[in-house]
């Protein structure tokens, strides 16, 4: 009886590993395949039958992407847009989230719910009015205009996560600070912010990744080649008369690496934060 | 005390309002007003080819509703949404249930399973286009050598596989969100419930039905609603993968709105299509807020 139970458990465990392995394989192998394709010779990428293990090493794609495509310009644009949108969203979002959690006024709940709903409004519904409105104020086809549109999704997201984060901090800390003669502002700057650095960093990284990956606004609100972001820049490469496969694969790998690395760094925190959000809301 | 100090004190007393004001201004300026403006726009014959626009009441809406392409796109949007949601839920739920088992190396599996979700849309759509390429894509080769398909198949450019292929591509990207959310719900189930089920001699299926499912039901329904809102309005994936084609096989409502606004320059009419999409969104949000309340209670 005991023996039987043990075999059952071993079998069950093996089954779990096989199933988990299969799901993981489907999730990871395309990324892996792309990485391999970027460092092998082009003739091998589209070879029939395909070879799994590369037999050639060819990095001309990486060379070409820097020399013959506007990759660096796009990289600078994306980084600039991402940094400014993230900084603005964190600053405004942290202040708003603190006000919502600290004072809990009648309007606080209404605002935090509106913020959550704003986050649900998809880009395709906003891009049409953005196009006309940005045109009116002369910001269409500018990076400043693009930054504003990125704040439209980054700010609700940052506010939402920071509200959840601040509400986990013990109230007594601030009260103690105020008894010691701290102003409200002082308590926020000297007590709350330092304690929230890990949370703020995680939210900032995730906000930056979202901006980095954004495509619809970058495609439709920016038309000049020199203002394209890495995603819109890749799209224009896709539409080229002569398809340049090698730099395209290199481009894809290069723009995938930053979010991948950042994400692995913050994933524990993010999963917890999302989990808290999913459970609470 | 100097004057500056008195002013600061006043600011500090009203810090609750001062801190929230920038947030409110930004949300009104960047979300509420543009949405309102979009509705206004949908009542005009605004066009990118013409500098002025005339108020034309509901004519755009009437024209859109009389256009059979709108209804065809709506049907495709529903197919797209149902397909994506089913795939993401099945994949995400399976992954979450497996990750919730008591095994070694869970953490590594979890990180790896989340990876697709970090990719930019341009990147993962292109990856799947290459993998499904008829001229030597690895998936075609794999399926061909396993005897699943008789010949290399052009997945994205054949009418009856295009929709399935974009659904698969998006599902591959989006399932980790479902997985993480459900996993959070699973973690909240007290171990004692499972122990009781074991003592009572419940089968694995019964344990899932009577212990696990009641706990995660609330979260699943919230995740489903959030995903429905996102998926229904998703534009980038289809645009990048097929551009709405071949023919009109994958032209969902967002693609139709894009074509109307950016290819035919009828921005007012495009706004009326997204206006109708907004109505669907509001209905979904209504149910979302209701189910959130339900779970909280």
Is any Cβ of chain A less than 8 angstroms from the Cβ of B187?
yes
Mean pLDDT, range B44-71, rounded to an integer: 87
How high is the pLDDT of residue B34?
A: 95
Which DSSP letter does residue B55 get? Answer: B
Residue in A124, A132, A231 nearest the CB of B233: A124
Question: Minimal Cα–Cα distance from A213 to chain B, Å?
Answer: 4
**Closest residue of chain A to B100, computed from CA coordinates:** A16
Which DSSP letter does residue B200 get? Answer: T
Q: Which of residues 51-90 of B touch A (CB under 8 A)?
A: none
Whether residue B246 is preceded by a cis peptide bond, meaning omega within 30 degrees of 0, is: yes
Mean pLDDT, range A20-44, rounded to an integer: 89
Q: Quick check: A157 pLDDT over 60?
A: yes
pLDDT tens figures, B130-152: 888 887 788 888 888 887 888 88
Half-sphere exposure of A246 (CA within 13 A, CB side): 18
Band the pLDDT of A278: cuts 50, 70, 90: very low
Which residue's entry shows tokens 């034309």?
Answer: B56
Q: At B265, list the tokens.
A: 């320059």
pLDDT tens figures, B155-201: 888 888 899 999 999 999 999 989 988 888 888 788 888 888 888 88
Q: Which residues contact A77 (CB under 8 A, 6 or more apart)?
A: A143, A227, A228, A229, A230
Q: At A136, list the tokens.
A: 């009116």
The gap from C-alpha B109 to its chain's centroid, in whole angstroms, comes to 24
Q: Average pLDDT, whole number, for chain B?
A: 87
- What's the Cα-to-Cα distance from B30 to each of A150, A163, B34, rounded to whole Å? 10, 20, 6
Q: Which of B5, B13, B14, B23 to mutate to test the interface with A (most CBs of A within 10 A)?
A: B23
Q: Quick check: A83 pLDDT over 90?
A: yes
How high is the pLDDT of residue B101?
A: 86
Band the pLDDT of A1: cuts 50, 70, 90: low
As beta bridge partners, residue B126 has: none
Q: Quick check: A280 pLDDT over 70?
A: no
Band the pLDDT of B4: cuts 50, 70, 90: very low
Residue in B101, B172, B258 nearest the CB of A16: B101
Q: Quick check: A136 pLDDT over 70?
A: yes
Residue in A129, A155, A252 nearest the CB of B126: A252
Check CB contact under 8 Å for B15 and A148.
no
Q: Quick check: A275 pLDDT over 70?
A: no
Mean pLDDT, range A152-166, rounded to an integer: 90
pLDDT tens figures, B240-268: 999 888 888 999 999 999 999 999 999 99
The gap from C-alpha A6 to its chain's centroid, in whole angstroms, comes to 44
Number of A–B residue contacts, CB under 8 Å: 260
Residue in B136, B230, B234 nearest the CB of A48: B136
For residues B36 and A190, which has the higher predicted lDDT (pLDDT)? B36
pLDDT tens figures, A244-274: 788 899 999 999 999 998 888 887 776 666 6
CA angle B117, B98, A275 (to 5 degrees): 50
Q: Is the dihedral of CA B231, B233, B239, B244 positive or negative?
A: positive
Question: Minimal Cα–Cα distance from A58 to chain B, Å?
Answer: 19
List helix spans (H) across chain A. Answer: 2-39, 42-45, 60-67, 71-103, 106-120, 123-136, 143-166, 171-179, 184-187, 193-213, 216-220, 230-238, 245-280
Q: Are B280 and B232 in contact (CB under 8 A)?
A: yes
From A146-155, A203-212, B143-152, B271-280, the region with the lowest mean pLDDT: B143-152
Question: Minimal Cα–Cα distance from A108 to chain B, Å?
Answer: 9
Q: Quick check: A277 pLDDT over 70?
A: no
Q: Quick check: B74 pLDDT over 90?
A: yes
Check CB contact under 8 Å for B111 and A148.
no
Check CB contact under 8 Å for B30 and A234.
no
* DSSP calls for A15-45: HHHHHHHHHHHHHHHHHHHHHHHHHS-HHHH
The verdict on ipTM greater than 0.90 is no
How high is the pLDDT of residue A12?
A: 85
For residues B42 and A266, which has the higher predicted lDDT (pLDDT)? B42
Q: Which of residues 171-230 of A touch B (CB under 8 A)?
A: 183-185, 188, 209, 212-213, 215-216, 220, 230
- The pTM score is 0.89
């Amino acid at each position: 009886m005991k023996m039987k139970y043990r075999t059952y458990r071993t079998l069950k465990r093996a089954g779990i590993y096989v199933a988990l392995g299969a799901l993981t394989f489907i999730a990871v192998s395309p990324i892996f395949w792309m990485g391999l394709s970027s460092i092998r010779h082009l003739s091998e990428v589209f070879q029939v039958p395909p070879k799994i293990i590369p037999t050639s090493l060819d990095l001309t794609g990486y060379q070409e992407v820097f020399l013959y495509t506007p990759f660096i310009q796009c990289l600078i644009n994306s980084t600039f847009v991402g940094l400014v949108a993230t900084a603005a969203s964190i600053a405004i979002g942290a202040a708003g989230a603190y006000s919502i959690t600290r004072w809990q006024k009648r309007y606080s709940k209404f605002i935090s719910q509106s913020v959550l709903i704003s986050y649900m409004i998809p880009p395709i519904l906003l891009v049409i009015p953005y196009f006309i409105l940005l045109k009116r104020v002369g910001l269409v086809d500018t990076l400043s205009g693009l930054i504003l549109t990125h704040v439209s999704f980054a700010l609700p997201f940052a506010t939402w996560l920071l509200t959840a984060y601040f509400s986990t901090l013990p109230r007594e800390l601030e009260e103690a600070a105020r008894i010691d003669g701290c102003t409200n502002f002082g308590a926020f700057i000297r007590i709350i912010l330092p304690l929230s650095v890990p949370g703020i960093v995680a939210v900032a990284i995730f906000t930056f990744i979202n901006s980095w990956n954004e495509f619809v606004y970058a495609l439709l609100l920016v038309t000049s080649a020199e203002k394209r972001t890495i995603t819109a820049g890749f799209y224009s490469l896709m539409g080229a008369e002569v398809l340049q496969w090698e730099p395209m694969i290199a481009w894809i790998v290069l723009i995938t690496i930053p979010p991948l690395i950042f994400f692995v760094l913050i994933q524990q925190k993010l999963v917890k934060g999302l989990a808290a959000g999913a459970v609470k809301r | 005390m100097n004057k500056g100090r008195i002013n600061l004190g006043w600011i500090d007393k009203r810090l609750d309002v001062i801190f929230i004001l920038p947030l409110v201004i930004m949300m009104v300026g960047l979300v509420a007003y543009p949405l309102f403006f979009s509705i206004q726009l949908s009542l005009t014959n605004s066009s990118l080819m013409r500098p002025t626009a005339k108020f034309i009441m509901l004519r755009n809406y009437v024209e859109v509703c009389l256009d059979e392409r709108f209804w065809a796109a709506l049907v495709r949007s529903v197919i797209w949404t149902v397909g994506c949601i089913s795939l993401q839920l099945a994949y995400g739920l399976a992954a979450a249930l497996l990750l919730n088992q008591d095994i070694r190396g869970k953490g590594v599996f979890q990180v790896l399973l989340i990876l697709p979700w970090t990719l930019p849309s341009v990147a993962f759509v292109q990856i799947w286009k290459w993998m499904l390429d008829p001229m030597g894509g690895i998936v075609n080769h794999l399926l061909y050598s396993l005897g699943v398909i008789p010949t290399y198949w052009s997945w994205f450019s054949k009418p009856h596989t295009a929709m399935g292929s974009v659904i698969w591509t998006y599902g591959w990207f989006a399932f980790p969100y479902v997985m993480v959310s459900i996993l959070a719900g699973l973690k909240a189930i007290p171990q004692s419930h499972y122990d009781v089920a074991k003592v009572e001699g419940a089968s694995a299926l019964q344990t899932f039905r009577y212990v696990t499912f009641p706990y995660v039901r609330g979260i699943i329904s919230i995740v489903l609603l959030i995903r429905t809102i996102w998926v229904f309005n998703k534009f980038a994936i289809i645009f990048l993968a097929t551009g709405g084609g071949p023919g009109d096989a994958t032209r969902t409502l967002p693609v139709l709105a894009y074509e109307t606004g950016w290819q035919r320059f009828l921005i007012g009419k495009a706004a009326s299509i997204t206006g109708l999409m907004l109505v669907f969104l509001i209905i979904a949000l209504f149910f979302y807020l209701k189910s959130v309340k339900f779970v909280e209670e």
